[in-house]
Each structure stands twice: as C-alpha cells, then as structure tokens.
Chains A and B, each alone.
Chain A
C-alpha cells in the first residue's frame, strides 16, 4: 500500500516535470530553416564538385594546365586544355571540363594539384532533370564568376582553401538569407 502510494506520487510528479519541460520548449524560438526561402551556409570543408581557384592578385585562374589532376582522376572525368598566351611566361588554362556524372568526389585531383588551383566548391543544390547539366565547364564558370565579382581579393582571401592537413573549426550552420538558385 505504502509502496504503491509512493509510486503514484513519484509517477504523477514525473508527469508534471514532463509537462513543464514541454511548456518551456513551447516558448523558445523555433530552429527550423525555411529551406526554399533560406538555406544553410555550407561548412568550409564541404565537398561539392571541384572548381577552379582564382589568383587573388590577377583575378585569373591559378591553373596552368599541367594536367596532373587529369592524370590523377581515377574515373577520367576531367579534361584540361591549356595554351601559352602572347606575352605570358606560363601556360594558362583554356578549357576545364568536369563530367560530374562519373565523378565520385574522391578528391584525388585536389590532392594532386601542387598549386592549389582547384578546390571543392560549396555548391550543394545540384538537382537536375537533364544529364547535360552535369557536364560542367569549370573554366566558363570561373569566367562568369569573375564577371559577376571582378574584385577577387577580399572574397578570395576569405574563401581560400584550408591547408589539407589543418582541419578548420567547423563553421556553425547559420541560415543565410538570399535563396541560392542553381545556374
């Protein structure tokens, strides 16, 4: 009798505690990210498809078409072409095609690159109904980006790829407002 009464009281008490906790949560702000209207900022080490890196001083691609990445790729999904332009000391890239349908995001190309000329992008929204959308012209992408954002210094400094052996602090996932539409 005494035990069952005690059980009744402690049981009822636990119910009251549970209701207090849920009421506390009720008045706290919500944590939902309203996805199509806002999206999360991808962390620094996010492995999207690869992209060419711009030289912060010249604004051109760092890549000089040495083709190490092309050779390192186990799936043969990279095609690089380069040419020596008039008056330039080094070759520079003229075409960089990525066949993303074959890419397994292994990162061998990024590892093989000696000059940090390619890195993983933070593009995550890659859904498409069209297979051709995945044959990506990364050189054209770089040029478009340069057109849209002609001063690369500030942005490039902020977005410079982290050294491969130093793991950066995980960025807290903060909702960023403007909707990121693909292409």
Chain B
C-alpha cells in the first residue's frame, strides 16, 4: 500500500502529471481564495465600520461567495455594440493567466514549488506587467468613455509604480545574490532577525524597502487607496464598466489572485517565507500565516484611507518612492562593496 502511494507520488512528480497537478491545485487555490477573500473583504469592511458584514447566507455569511458566484454565472455575457469582441473577451483571461502562471514559482514550503527555476523573480515580474495590458485592452475594447479613461489611468499608474517596485527588487537581488525564490527563503532561515526585513547590517533602510514594495504592490494590483482604475465615484467601474456576468467575475478573481501573488512575493522576499520566526518548526503554515497577514493589511488599508487624487498618486511615485528606492539601491551596493565584499 505505502509502496503504491510512493509510486503514485513519484509518478505525479514526473512531467505531464506535475504540470496537471499544479494546474488543478492552483486553480482550486486561486478560485477558493478569490471567493473567500471577497468574504474576508466584506467582513473586514464591516468590522472596521462597526457593523457585522454579511450574516444572512449561511453561518456568519460563509455561503455568501457561493451565492455571489451563482449570481455572476447566471448572468448573460453581453458584448456592447461596437466593441472589439475578440479583445473584449480575451482581456479577462489575459489578466487571470499571468497571475496563475506566476504562482508556479512561489515556494510555499521547503521544496514545495511547482517550478523551482532560478529566474523565478524575473519570471514573476515579466508576467506581472501583462495585467496592465489586460486592463488597458479591456477598457479600450469596451468602447465606453469611462473604460477608456480608466485604461489611460492604469497605464500611467502602473508605469509609475513599476519603476520603484523593480528598483526595490533589484536591491533585493543584489543583497541575496539570486533570483531563485526558494534560495532567497532558504537564506532567511534561523529566526526572524534573519529575515530580509530586519537585515539592517546589509542595508539600514531594509524596512523602508519593504514599505516601498508594499505600497507599489498596492498600486500595481489597483487596490485602494490607489484604485484609480475603477474609482467608483468617478468612473462607474472603470475598465470593468461594460463587463457582465463571469467576464467581470474573472476580472474580479484576477484582482484577488494578483493581491495573493503580491502578498506571497512579499512574504518570500522580506518575511522569510516558510521559515518560522523562532528558527524551529518551519513549514507551509508560516508562509500562509504571513501571507494572509499581508492580505489582511491590504483590506485594513483599503478601509482606512480614502482614494488619493491622481496627481497625489503620481507625485508619490515620482517624487518620493523612486528617489528613495534609488537611494536604497545605491546605499546597499555601497555597503556591499565596503563591508561585505
């Protein structure tokens, strides 16, 4: 019996099956997370405003996501007259698939990554910039003035925030000396003072670096207070205005998948991934705990701060984040040259 299970596991680790297993697991994980992060978001929004959030559907409103999904799926998929049908239909997929693909290199635990490739970080950022194009195409092809304004906004916003994000990541690559996420987590073993977040002897501005990464992550995933692309009060629903039913549903899921990806990346890069904070009992549970703490912070920030103005958004990036991240890059390279060469 055990022999059979071992054989099965060995078989699953070989090529076509491993891919299939990854696909099934990731689709389930992302789908469930997207559904229940909506619940977390609504419950969290409620608690932050001293109200209970969804309570009627199921115990503590736990079946609310199911009801939402049924509602979305039962709706008709409408393509507006004059819209570019192909692009309009492709855009949601184009937003969803990069997030799914990027999750392939996230190291959930010791040796628990679908693909342990040595340019994992590069791959994530290569795919990560595709979702800008997806929102832009979605907005452009729907032939709607709000959607087009939103498409223009998402491009300028993401260009502005890609730069400090990448500068921060280059700093991290310099400090760790690798683009392999598993190896980056491996280096942070042995207690929370070894996490990249607290390695101030490598670069005294490490916490600031993490903060810049987190802010850029919020902006890249179009989360409040940087949700200029779907600013409800001014743009109806931005690029998603014309999407009905599951077309919108996939965009919505992709948004949460991107948040999940961003938080997982933050966990692996700065918070020591699956390493436990005390140096013992490391495992997947720590990765999930840290990741969901970051997700909670994202919700927390959304329900604390009002939406920024577009000028404020660009000013923050070009006048503060980019100079500071450039400074940390120079500082950490200087410190490497002087003290750790």
* Chain A positions near chain B (C-beta within 8 angstroms): 8, 15, 18-19, 21-23, 25-26, 28-32, 34
Contact = CB atoms under 8 A, between A and B. Distances in A.
B80 interface: no
B169 to A, nearest CB: 22
30 contacts: A8-B320, A15-B305, A18-B304, A18-B305, A19-B300, A19-B304, A21-B304, A22-B48, A22-B300, A22-B303, A22-B304, A23-B300, A25-B47, A25-B49, A25-B50, A26-B47, A26-B48, A26-B300, A30-B46, A30-B47, A30-B50, A30-B51, A30-B52, A31-B50, A31-B51, A32-B50, A32-B51, A32-B52, A34-B52, A34-B55
Contacts of A15: 305
B21 interface: no
Contacts of A8: 320
Given A22-B303, A26-B48, 8 more contacts: A19-B300, A19-B301, A22-B48, A25-B48, A26-B44, A29-B50, A30-B47, A34-B52
Contacts of B300: 19, 22-23, 26
A22 B304 CA distance: 6
Interface in B297-320: 300-301, 303-305, 320
B152 to A, nearest CB: 27
Interface in B99-141: none
A8 B315 CA distance: 12
A134 B304 CA distance: 47
Contacts of B50: 25, 28-32
Contacts of B305: 15, 18
- In the A-B complex, the 9 residue pairs with the smallest Cβ-Cβ separation, listed nearest first, are A22-B304, A32-B51, A30-B52, A26-B47, A31-B50, A22-B48, A18-B304, A19-B304, A30-B50
A89 B328 CA distance: 99
A25 B49 CA distance: 7
Contacts of B52: 30, 32, 34
A15 B320 CA distance: 16
A116 B55 CA distance: 45
A30 B51 CA distance: 5
B298 to A, nearest CB: 12
Nearest to A23: B300
Contacts of A28: 50
Interface in B27-55: 44, 46-52, 55
Nearest to B297: A19
A28 B51 CA distance: 10
A18 B306 CA distance: 11
B295 to A, nearest CB: 15
Interface in B45-99: 46-52, 55
A34 B46 CA distance: 14
A28 B304 CA distance: 16
Contacts of A29: 50
A99 B24 CA distance: 67
A89 B324 CA distance: 95
B137 to A, nearest CB: 34
B36 to A, nearest CB: 18
A15 B52 CA distance: 25
Contacts of B51: 30-32
Contacts of B304: 18-19, 21-22
B327 to A, nearest CB: 12
A32 B320 CA distance: 41
Tell which of A28, A31, A32 has the most Cβ of chain B within 10 Å: A32
Nearest to A19: B304
Contacts of A26: 44, 47-48, 300
B42 to A, nearest CB: 13
Nearest to A32: B51
Tell which of A18, A21, A28, A30 has the most Cβ of chain B within 10 Å: A30
Contacts of B48: 22, 25-26
A15 B225 CA distance: 12
A18 B48 CA distance: 12
A64 B48 CA distance: 56
Nearest to B53: A30
A34 B304 CA distance: 25
B2 to A, nearest CB: 47
A8 B215 CA distance: 15
Nearest to A36: B56
Nearest to B301: A19
A30 B44 CA distance: 12
A40 to B, nearest CB: 15
Nearest to B49: A25
